[in-house]
Chain A
Amino acid sequence: MNFLSGFLFTFLVELLVYFILIKKKKDIFLYCFLINLFTWPLANFFYGVFGMFYLIEFFVFTVEGILVYFLFNLDFRKSFLISFVANFISALGSFVL
């Protein structure tokens, strides 16, 4: 999987999760895109340097949870749930592929 296809896969999977779990659909595409544009390259960079996939995924989940909270104005719990589900599924998918 090259860089572009890896990013697209993660973004589309997370977008699907956002669509299912978030009621207000306004700006979902933009926010999901920006969140992944921020976390995906950094995660890949640090994974290339340090390995430690699970630790990096934990940071990604945390950062994305915070960004979902602020961008979508959801409560903290729901924001982190969405982040967890989205990252779990995309991580699972990247293992399989």
Chain B
Amino acid sequence: MKKIFSMLMLGILLMNLASADLIEPGHRGIAINNHITNIDDYSNYILVSYGGIEGMCPIEVIGSDGRIPDYYKYCNPSVYAIPKEKFDEFNQDYILVLDRDYRIFSREQVLEKLSSIGAKEVIKDIQTYEQVLVSSSVKEINNFYTIDLSTIRTEPDDKEVIRNDYIYFYILIPLIAITIILYLIFKKRK
């Protein structure tokens, strides 16, 4: 009986914690895609992204296209520029090890190692997800960052909002319908 009660309490507690991960009623999630526009300017560096939650926000290498990988919505990753000659060591000792078992190194240990190999944080707190109203016309957002080794960017330099056509459906079509209805009503009364 005690066991059942404890399980029930744990279940209720977890449900409350899980609700933080749910979408608010009347809202939907949209993806935010993040890009580095001047990655080619830093050919002596390898750029990696790394997020704030151990086990859920792995270290990812950013490809030559400059696209920052997608992350779980609460990761808010940062981007670090690692000198090319130091990358192999970091890759062997940390990235590949963490891929096998994320528990081997804590976030603090990873950040310490990044600091010790001369990695520079170039972008901080990247948003990868947003909630908008269900009726919003926003479909996805593209953020563009121009990085600089001497500055930590917290906001994108440019933003592109991609919209869907729902707004026309929601507003134009009812307008057309009521215009026709009113015309038909007035026509009948003549």
Contacts and interface: CB of A to CB of B under 8 A. Distances in A.
Interface of A: 3, 31, 34-35, 37-39, 41-42, 44-51, 67, 70-71, 73
A45 B175 CA distance: 13
B169 interface: yes
B135 A45 contact: yes
By secondary structure, the A interface counts as helix
Given A38-B174, A41-B174, A67 B181 contact: yes
10 contacts: A3-B166, A34-B180, A38-B174, A44-B135, A44-B170, A45-B171, A48-B136, A49-B26, A71-B181, A71-B185
A35 B135 contact: no
Interface in B172-187: 173-174, 176-178, 180-181, 184-185
B188 to A, nearest CB: 8
A71 B25 contact: no
A71 B25 CA distance: 36
The 4 closest A-B pairs by CB, nearest first: A48-B135, A48-B134, A37-B177, A38-B177
